Amino acid sequence: MLDAAVAAFAERGIAGTTLRAIAKGAGVTPALLHYYFQSKGRLVEVLLAERVAPFVAVSAAPLLKPLPSPRATLRLFLETHMRNLAANPWMPRLMTREVLSEGGSLREHMQAQFSAVLSPKTFMLIVAAQQRGEIRTDLNPVLIGLSLISLAVFPFAAAPVWREVAKATVRGAPELEARLEQARRDTKPNTEALITHTLALFDSALEKPHAKSKH
């Protein structure tokens, strides 16, 4: 029933989803759903405790047990968070609807979750990495953190859009069309390629800028 609720909330939003629709998606009667959860509000509370909280815990794990290198910890956090998103495709869609959108019913809760765990620890790691000379110091630590989260989340949240854009971009180029179609069918390698690509951007974007040539 929780799986059906997550899927429905991610697709239609919490306000736009009825208990009857969730019951239908779960293959149970509305009466049974009401027996377990009493109300949609109570169902959302259970969902936060049994789906969202474990998700946050997985992503936060590298931050709670940091490696000796702050930069390496940040990189592991980025990879872990992306793998967590790939394993839970409902999460970025739910975030888009209920956190990023004005009036989202989970915004306050998720802000508290991220403010309590992810945001301050990520910020401190970025500052520590800058102080140790592991990453460039000419960038704002807060904006670096925002960029890291954007790199991790946006490809999953916007997957239907960017895949259609990619299809239009390669149309007329048979070899590229074939590669895109193979990536679409083969989810796991596609995810691995995305993670590898994002980590490469992380590695290159945070390198200290090369000294300007005197010539």
pLDDT of residue 96: 84
pLDDT of residue 95: 87
60 pLDDT band, cuts 50/70/90, is very high
CA nearest to 153, candidates 71, 51, 73, 55: 55
pLDDT of residue 2: 93
> Model's pTM, two decimal places?
0.80
Cα separation, 167 vs 176, in Å, equals 9
Cα separation, 196 vs 200, in Å, equals 6
Ranges 9-18, 60-69, 77-86: which has the least confidence: 9-18
pLDDT of residue 11: 87
Residue 180 has pLDDT above 70, yes or no: no
Mean pLDDT estimate for the chain:
84
Looking at residues 176-194, what average pLDDT do you find?
A: 63
Token duo for residue 10: 């991610």
Looking at residues 188-205, what average pLDDT do you find?
A: 84
CA atoms within 13 A on the CB side of 120: 7
Residue 175 has pLDDT above 90, yes or no: no
CA nearest to 19, candidates 2, 42, 39, 3: 39
Residue 181 has pLDDT above 50, yes or no: yes
Cα separation, 11 vs 191, in Å, equals 21
Is the separation of the CB atoms in 75 and 108 below 8 Å?
no
Domains in the chain with CATH codes: 53-205 (1.10.357.10)
pLDDT tens column, 87-125: 998 998 888 888 888 888 888 888 777 777 788 899 999
pLDDT of residue 44: 92
pLDDT of residue 187: 47
Helix, strand or coil, per DSSP, at residue 197: helix
CA nearest to 4, candidates 97, 54, 12: 12
